[in-house]
Chains A and B, each alone.
Chain A
Amino acid sequence: MPKKSMTLITGFVSLVALMSFALKNEADFTKGTIHSAKKDSIESVKAFKDVYKVLMSPRCMNCHPAGDTPLQGDDSHPHSMLPQRGKDGKGIYTMKCANCHQATNLAGLNMPPGHPDWHLPPADMKMVFEGKTPQELAKQLVNPNTNGNKTLKQLLEHADDGLVKAGWNPGEGRTLPPISHAAFKKAWITWIENGAFAPSK
Chain B
Amino acid sequence: MISLTINNKPYQLDIDPNTPLLWVLRDHLDLVGTKFGCGLAQCGACTVHLNGEAIRSCVTKVSRAEGQKVVTIEGLSDTGEHPVQKAWLELDVAQCGYCQTGQIMSAAVLLNQNKNPTDKDIDAAMSGNICRCGTYLRIREAIHLAAEIQQKNG
Q: Which residues of A contact B (CB under 8 A)?
A: 80-84, 92-96, 98-100, 102-103, 106, 110-112
Interface residues on B, range: 20 to 34
Does B127 contact A95, Cβ atoms closer than 8 Å?
yes
Interface of B is mostly: mixed
* Residues of chain B contacted by A98 (CB below 8 angstroms): 53, 55
Does A95 contact B40, Cβ atoms closer than 8 Å?
no
* Residues of chain A contacted by B109 (CB below 8 angstroms): 93-94
In the assembled complex, the Cα of A19 lies from the Cα of B56 at a distance in Å of 50
B133 at the interface (CB under 8 A from A): no
* Residues of chain A contacted by B121 (CB below 8 angstroms): 93
Does A94 contact B54, Cβ atoms closer than 8 Å?
yes
B85 at the interface (CB under 8 A from A): no
> Contacts A83-B128, A93-B121, A95-B127; is A100 near B110 (CB within 8 Å)?
no
Residue of B nearest to A103 (CB): B64
Count: A-B pairs, CB below 8 Å: 61
* Residues of chain A contacted by B47 (CB below 8 angstroms): 94
Residue of A nearest to B124 (CB): A84
> Contacts A84-B124, A112-B41; is A93 near B114 (CB within 8 Å)?
yes
Does A93 contact B56, Cβ atoms closer than 8 Å?
no
| Complex partner residue of B128 from A81, A102, A110, CB under 8 angstroms | A81
In the assembled complex, the Cα of A102 lies from the Cα of B60 at a distance in Å of 7
Does B64 contact A106, Cβ atoms closer than 8 Å?
no
Does B54 contact A99, Cβ atoms closer than 8 Å?
yes
Q: A83-B128, A92-B124, A99-B55 are in contact. List 11 more A-B contacts (CB 8 A).
A: A81-B127, A82-B127, A84-B124, A93-B113, A93-B114, A93-B124, A93-B125, A96-B54, A102-B59, A106-B59, A112-B40
* Residues of chain A contacted by B126 (CB below 8 angstroms): 94
